[in-house]
Amino acid sequence: VPGPLITLTTDFGAGSAYVAQVKGVLLSALPTARLVDVTHELPAHDIAAAEVCLRGTAFSFPLGTTHLVVVDPGVGTARRALAVQARGMTFVGPDNGVLGVALAQPGARVVNLDRPELFRHPVASTFHGRDLFAPVAAELAAGLDLDQVGQSITDAQPSTLPPARFDVDSASGEVLAADRFGNLTTNLGVGELERCFGDWQASVDGRPLRRCATYGDADRGDLVVLAGSDGYLEVAVREGSAAEHLGRVRGVPVQCRGSGA
* Smallest separation, CB 59 to a second copy (Å): 8
Q: Could you say whether residue 37 binds a second copy (CB under 8 A)?
A: yes
Q: Which residues contact 252 (CB under 8 A, 6 or more apart)?
A: 174, 175, 184, 204, 205, 235, 246
Q: Could you say whether residue 184 binds a second copy (CB under 8 A)?
A: no
Region binding a second copy by CB under 8 A among candidate stretches 11-19, 107-115, 143-151, 192-200: 11-19
Q: Could you say whether residue 44 binds a second copy (CB under 8 A)?
A: yes
Q: Whose Cβ is closer to a second copy: residue 20's or residue 195's?
A: 20
Q: For a second copy, which residue of 6, 46, 51, 56 counts as binding (CB under 8 A)?
A: 56
Q: Whose Cβ is closer to a second copy: residue 65's or residue 255's?
A: 65
Q: Whose Cβ is closer to a second copy: residue 11's or residue 174's?
A: 11
- Using CB under 8 A as the binding criterion, the count of chain residues that bind a second copy stands at 66
Q: Could you say whether residue 105 binds a second copy (CB under 8 A)?
A: no
Q: Name the pairing type of β-strands 200-204 and 253-258.
A: antiparallel
CB-neighbour burial class of residue 222 (10 A; exposed 0-12, middle 13-18, buried 19+) = middle
Q: Whose Cβ is closer to a second copy: residue 41's or residue 169's?
A: 41
Largest CA distance in the chain: 65
CA–CA dist 25, 118 (Å, integer): 13
Q: Could you say whether residue 211 binds a second copy (CB under 8 A)?
A: no
Residue window 60-79: x/- pattern of binding to a second copy, with contact defined by CB under 8 A: xxx--x-------xxxxx--
Angle between helices 134-142 and 17-29 (to 10 degrees): 40
State the number of CA atoms in the 13 A half-sphere of 103 facing the CB: 25
CA–CA dist 261, 252 (Å, integer): 28
Q: Residues in the site for a second copy, rule: CB under 8 A?
A: 2-3, 5, 7, 12-18, 20-21, 23-25, 27-28, 31-32, 35-42, 44-45, 52-53, 56-57, 59-62, 65, 73-77, 124-127, 130-131, 179-181, 213-217, 226-230, 234, 236, 239
